[in-house]
Structure 1
Amino acid sequence: MKTLVIYYSLSGNTQKVAEAIANTLKADINRLEDRHSRTGPIGYVAYNISSIVFSTWKNSLC
């Protein structure tokens, strides 16, 4: 059975962890790409707002 590590990394920290996991498991690795730029101060704020909105929406379904 093949293993695939899929990750999304805004700052690069998650990428390092995902690469370490993939190397340990001898797994394939795939990065999720965002449709919108999340770089710079405006991108950082937009990322946090979308995270809050999504978590609020997700919690309202429970």
Structure 2
Amino acid sequence: ICNASSLLGLFQFILGGMISPLVGLAGQFNPMPYLIIISTTAAVFIILQFTYFKINKPYIK
């Protein structure tokens, strides 16, 4: 029987496996892919946080 913790861990490994090759696309010493990935994931996180709080505003005190 699977539980939510194991599924979250699996999702982290899958996401890391998909994104980690993107960091080295422009070469070993070019920081731009890393900066783009970090900025994109931060923006997605902020958007998800605002969406979550907007939907659940009546329940948050």
Per the normalisation by structure 2, the TM-score is: 0.46
> When you count strand as a share of all residues, which structure comes out higher?
1
TM-score scaled by length of structure 1: 0.45
